Structure 1
Amino acid sequence: MTVLIAYGTVEGQTAKIARFINDVIREAGYETRLINTSDRTRHVSLDDVDRIILAAPVHERRHPKQFEAFVESQKDAFESRKSLVLSVSLKAAFAKGQEDAWDYLTEMLMRTHFKPDETALVAGAVRPDNYGYFEKEIIQHVVLKDQKLDPRDGAQEFTDWGALKAAVVAFLNK
């Protein structure tokens, strides 16, 4: 079995997640194809692909436009294979943010007209070295509102690697 892992990334956490998923799948004995959707502007052949995992981060309430365009352009081919969509966001890291995180994913699926077999939320990371003053304020006072975290304390990763591995393995075994 060959699994396509297509991802979009902005600050690097989703790329790290995609590489982790790639390793998990290879350790399970399957073949993988790992692609960054921002590097792909043309059609991707899925002839040898049995399953698809799509992963992208949320920034400013949206997944990257290039990622969404990629999903929409491939949706017919994707729908003939088992698929899992992972939405990576800070909101997913906190109980109070779960509803917003699901909304971001739902809105992306509505925009792309794609109906995956499975979806999941994955907690992302804070990388304040990548932010300007405005972005740091938005992260602290909007995204992390009501959380006892300050992005000025440095990079913080919220991804639950064990839960992510379990979700990927469960997807492979269906």
Structure 2
Amino acid sequence: MTVLIAFATVEGQTAKIARFIGDIVKEAGFNTRLINTDEMHDHVSLDDVAKVILLAPVHERRHPESFEAYVASNRDALMKRKSLVLSVGLKAAFASGREEARDYLKEMLMRTGMEPNATALIAGAVRPESYGYFEREILKHVVLLGRKIDPRDGAREFTDWDELTSIVIDFLGGNGRANQHQSQAIS
């Protein structure tokens, strides 16, 4: 059985998460196909795919255009398979930001028409070395407002790797934990 992992990335954290998921999928005994929607040039056949994991980061309140275009243009084929959508973002790292992170995910699903079997919010990372002055100031004074995190301290991951492992294993095995995350993410 093949699991398709389709992702987009902006700063690299979502690509890291996608590769991590690929390792989990292989360890669980599945074949895996990993595609970056930013680098797609041809149609990807889903004929041998039984399950799909879609993941993308949120930047400036949206998931990348290439990701949304891939999901929308392949929606019918994707929805014929068991699917998990992971929305990666910094807002998901903090209780006070989770509602907003859920809204970003809901909006993306509405725009693409995708109705996955399960969804989850995954905390991303801060990579200030790739930001300009303006982005660092927005991060510090808007996104991280009131938090004792200084972007000048360098990269910082907020991804909970153990939680992510549990979500993926549960999705692959079908025992329902990922669906619990769906109700948290899309209530």
Report the TM range for the smaller structure's normalisation. Answer: over 0.9
- Per-residue CA deviations over 1:76-98 (Å, capped at 9, x if unaligned) read 00010000000000000000000
Gaps of at least 5 residues in structure 1 are: none
SS of 2:74's partner is: helix
Residue 92 (structure 1) aligns with = 92
**Quick one: distance in 2 between partners of 1:88 and 1:150?**
21
Aligned to 1:112: 112
Q: Which runs of 5+ in 2 are unaligned?
A: 175-187
SS in 1 for 2:159: coil
Structure 1 residue 150: Cα displacement: 1.1
Superposed CA RMSD in Å reads: 0.7
Superposed, which structure 2 residues align to 1:14-163 within 5 Å?
14-163=14-163
Report the more deviating stretch, 141-150 or 104-113.
141-150
Q: Name the aligned partner's letter for residue 144 of structure 1.
A: L
Quote the offset at 1:156 in angstroms.
Answer: 0.3
In 2, the alpha carbon distance for the partners of 1:147 and 1:61 equals 20
Give distance in 2, aligned partners of 1:51 and 1:144.
35
Q: Which amino acid aligns with 1:110?
A: M
Q: Which amino acid aligns with 1:66?
A: S
Q: CA deviation at 1:44?
A: 1.4
Identity %: 67
- For these two proteins, the number of residue pairs brought into alignment is 174
Range with bigger deviation, 96-105 or 138-147: 138-147
Question: TM-score, length-normalised on structure 2?
Answer: 0.92
Structure 1 counterpart SS, 2:55: strand
Runs of 4+ in structure 1 off by over 4 angstroms are none
Kindly state the Cα deviation for residue 42 of structure 1 after the two structures are TM-superposed.
Answer: 3.5
Q: Secondary structure at the match of 1:72?
A: helix
CA distance in 2, matches of 1:142, 1:160: 23
Say whether 1:170 aligns with 2:179.
no
